[in-house]
Amino acid sequence: MAKKEEQSKKKQNKPRVHSDLRGFEVTINQFGELQSNMNIEKINEFLNKNVDDKKLLEKEEKENLKKKKK
């Protein structure tokens, strides 16, 4: 019985999220498509502000190494 109670409590607790993303929910429909309740432009804007793009950082590092070798 204890395991069932713990599992139901875990389902009720919502994860902590950034204040800009409060209320954001994502679901997958029967066709495997992602559906969200937030506009994709708003999500992209948030990601651009708060997440560094690893590919761009690697490219900049390579360019800096090339400049130093010259």
Percent of the chain, pLDDT > 70?
A: 81
Q: What is the 3-state secondary structure (H, E, C) of 12-35?
A: HCCCCCCHHHCCCCEEECCCCCEE
Domain ranges of the chain: 18-69
> And the tokens for 61?
């590092």
> Which pLDDT tens digit goes with each residue over 3-30?
666 666 556 677 788 888 888 888 999 9
Residue whose pair of structure tokens reads 């994860």 in the numeric block: 15
> What are the pLDDT digits (tens) for 39-59?
889 999 999 899 888 887 787
